[in-house]
C-alpha cells in the first residue's frame, strides 16, 4: 500500500474516531455525580483529554511509514 493511500485511510479513520471519542468522553463526564470532588473531575478531564493521543499517534505513525 502506498503512503498516499495510507494517509487517505488514516484521515478517514482518524476524524470520525476523534468525534466519537469526544462524544463518549462527554457522556462519561455527564454521568459523574455533581458532588464529585473537583480534583477527581480534574483527573478525569486530564486523562480523557490525553488518552485519545495514544491511538491517534499509532495511526499517524502507520500513516507516515515509508513505501516498500
For 13-60, how does the pLDDT look when each residue is reduced to its tens digit (9 = 90+)? Answer: 999 999 999 999 999 999 988 889 999 999 999 999 999 999 999 999
Question: Is pLDDT of 66 > 90?
Answer: no
Tell me if 14 is assigned to some domain. Answer: yes
Tell me if 32 is assigned to some domain. Answer: yes
Among residues 28, 27, 52, which one has the least CA distance to residue 40? 28
Question: Is pLDDT of 67 > 90?
Answer: no
pTM for the full predicted model: 0.83
pLDDT value, residue 68: 64
Domain assignment of residue 11, given as a range: 3-63
For the chain, what is the largest distance between any 2 Cα atoms, rounded to a whole number of angstroms?
A: 55
Tell me if 55 is assigned to some domain. Answer: yes
Tell me if 68 is assigned to some domain. Answer: no
pLDDT value, residue 1: 85
- Count of domains in the chain? 1
Tell me if 51 is assigned to some domain. Answer: yes
Tell me if 36 is assigned to some domain. Answer: yes
Tell me if 26 is assigned to some domain. Answer: yes
Among residues 6, 19, 5, which one has the least CA distance to residue 60? 6
Amino acid at each position: 500500500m502506498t503512503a498516499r493511500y495510507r494517509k487517505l485511510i488514516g484521515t478517514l479513520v482518524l476524524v470520525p474516531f476523534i468525534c466519537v471519542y469526544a462524544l463518549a468522553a462527554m457522556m462519561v463526564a455527564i454521568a459523574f455525580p455533581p458532588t464529585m470532588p473537583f480534583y477527581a473531575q480534574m483527573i478525569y478531564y486530564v486523562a480523557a483529554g490525553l488518552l485519545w493521543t495514544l491511538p491517534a499517534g499509532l495511526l499517524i505513525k502507520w500513516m507516515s511509514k515509508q513505501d516498500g
